[in-house]
Chain A
Amino acid sequence: MSRETYVNIALALLLLAIPFAALQWGSPFYVTLATRMAILALAAVGLNLALGLGGLVSFGHAAFFGVGGYAAGILASHAFNMQPLNLGIVSFAGTNSMLVIWLVAILVAGLLALLIGLISLRTSGVYFIMITLAFAQMTYYFAISWPAYGGEDGLSILVRNQFPGINTMVPLSFFLLCYGVLIAVLILFAFLRDSRFGAALQASRQNEVRVASVGIAPFRIRLAAFVLSGMITALAGALYADLNRFVSPSMMSWHMSGEFIVLIVLGGVGRLYGPVAGAMLFVMVEFLLGGMTDRWQFFLGLGLLAVVLFARGGIVGALAGKVRHG
């Protein structure tokens, strides 16, 4: 096994250990903190597919995160009111089933990502960053100005949605559910990275002309990556809404998009467990320093600066060394 594999296993076990240790020491609040780590990590794993493997610096992934959140919120609210969700031609009953909510979140986000990708992927560099940001801000303002689902005030989910065989209101159970989803998606990410698709995607980041010269059109590869990436982040959004039992437009704000990028840079761009390491550090720093000072982000900024200057590979890079592509 490579050193990175050991680092990954250690990170996975560390995250799993936090809630159990918390309950052992009688601080159940830390279970929620660990759940937050897992969900933010999942959102960043999604972005890492586009940003890390594909070099697509999307500054608009909060849009997908928010779409996932609103899928959970809207479907749950209709289930609560017993009023069908009317979309003109068709109408659906609301639902409390996470599996259905996840499916809806993934499909809607996939369509949105397809639309955004078709336009934004025709550009690159700063223009790509700005277009993805612009689309995310559009969804943000759309959510604010949509009074049916709370507008600026957001939308509460009274009871956490349900998953077969699990009482999701028990914090540890909900953590384990989120953790399970995270691990499953990490496995999916590893397969994608090592597949033909992953090879074409990573090569497109390194040298677009080379990829085209062997007869592979980079645009389609990137579009597929962008769509998959948005879907994963939307899944995280649905879980995040259930964690807080609340969704609001802030899930779609550009701060959120920025936070995902920060997580990845902290943890290691393109590394399988980069987002996990980044999310664990981020949430911990936010909690520990946030308790002492409102200006904790100043220290986060210093940390980020140190990573960018001295440890380009992020936490995983520092622990496991450079990537070797076999």
Chain B
Amino acid sequence: MAEPVLSLKGVSKSFGALKATENVSLDLYPGEIHALIGPNGAGKSTLIHQIAGTLRPDTGEISFLGERIDGLKVAERARRGLGRSFQVSSLAPEFSALRNVMLAVQSVQGSSFRFFKPVLSDRSLVDPAMEALARVGLQDRARVPAAELSHGERRQLEIAIALALGSKAFLLDEPMAGMGPEGSKALTGFLSELREEAPILLVEHDMDAVFALADRISVLVYGRVIASGSVDEVRADPEVRRAYLGDE
């Protein structure tokens, strides 16, 4: 098999006595969607935070594109191609959808220390941003402030930002949350194609979407990976059924 794009080895994180992440190892390979599922409070978001850099693991290694990144800051990890969407949308609320994406384009192009050229008339920023918005279907909402977008649209916008970053891996934390059935169906189709561009580590509660999309699934319970494998393997795993899938 190819080298993993993203690789976690023995990652642990405690908050006081609470072990939020305990010795988690997992890999994300090119072209795949690796779903991370688990009951509420299992530590899925905490794990995403550690990969993205907003939290530091206590022990363990995180490698991205063959290099250790666990010592790097959020901005540096993002520059290396780690694109992220947040569980609770995190956008610049006063900026329009377009300007939110433009910020990503500007980062990719290098320096933000340019003091004179107005961004809104800079085609090298606007055009790629509009393109990313069009890919997620937000082109008609480009000029709407992020704060005035619907819940689902903000999710799409976060993905557009990750696209504009030219991400080499996507960390998507519940991208379907708050979307109607129509929206999540469209997004499922979109993510399915997106994996060809860059692999996706997907945290999701919508099990239909997970089973439809995932190449592999890891199940997290109380901070530990209790099972990892293909969709069928995980579905058949007795421990998973007991801990998570319940009476299904």
Q: Contact at B95–A213, with CB atoms within 8 Å?
A: no
A195 to B119, CA, bound (A): 5
Q: Contact at B90–A214, with CB atoms within 8 Å?
A: no
Q: Contact at A200–B94, with CB atoms within 8 Å?
A: no
B27-35, B57-65, B98-106, B181-189: which lies at the A interface? B98-106
Chain A residues near B54: list those with CB within 8 A. 209
Chain B residues 45 to 88 lying within 8 A of chain A, measured CB to CB, are 52-54, 73-76, 78-79, 84, 86
A234 to chain B, nearest CB (A): 18
Further contacts, 16 of them, CB under 8 A, given A194-B120, A325-B96:
A192-B115, A194-B118, A197-B114, A197-B115, A199-B106, A199-B119, A200-B112, A207-B93, A210-B103, A211-B92, A213-B84, A214-B107, A216-B112, A221-B112, A325-B94, A325-B99
A213 to B170, CA, bound (A): 12
A215 to B98, CA, bound (A): 17
Asked if B161 is an interface residue, CB under 8 A from chain A, the answer is: yes
Q: Contact at B115–A191, with CB atoms within 8 Å?
A: yes
Chain A residues near B242: list those with CB within 8 A. none
A272 to chain B, nearest CB (A): 14
Chain B residues near A214: list those with CB within 8 A. 78, 103-104, 107, 161, 165
Asked if B169 is an interface residue, CB under 8 A from chain A, the answer is: no
In-complex Cβ contact of B95 among A196, A203, A224 (8 A): A203
- Convert A215-244 into 0s and 1s, putting 1 for each residue whose CB lies closer than 8 angstroms to a CB of B: 111101100100000000000000000000
Q: A325-B94, A325-B99 are in contact. Are A213 and B52 (CB under 8 A)?
A: yes
A224 to B159, CA, bound (A): 30
A221 to B115, CA, bound (A): 11
Asked if A48 is an interface residue, CB under 8 A from chain B, the answer is: no
Chain B residues near A165: list those with CB within 8 A. none
A207 to B106, CA, bound (A): 16
Write the residues of chain B forming the contact surface with A, with a CB cutoff of 8 angstroms: 52-54, 73-76, 78-79, 84, 86, 90-96, 98-100, 102-104, 106-108, 111-120, 125, 143, 145, 161, 165
Q: Contact at B75–A217, with CB atoms within 8 Å?
A: yes
A158 to chain B, nearest CB (A): 38
Q: Contact at A216–B103, with CB atoms within 8 Å?
A: yes
Closest residue of chain B to A200 (Cβ to Cβ) is B112
Asked if A206 is an interface residue, CB under 8 A from chain B, the answer is: yes
Which are the 4 A-B pairs with shortest beta-carbon distances? A215-B78, A215-B79, A212-B74, A194-B118
Chain B residues near A192: list those with CB within 8 A. 115
A70 to B175, CA, bound (A): 57
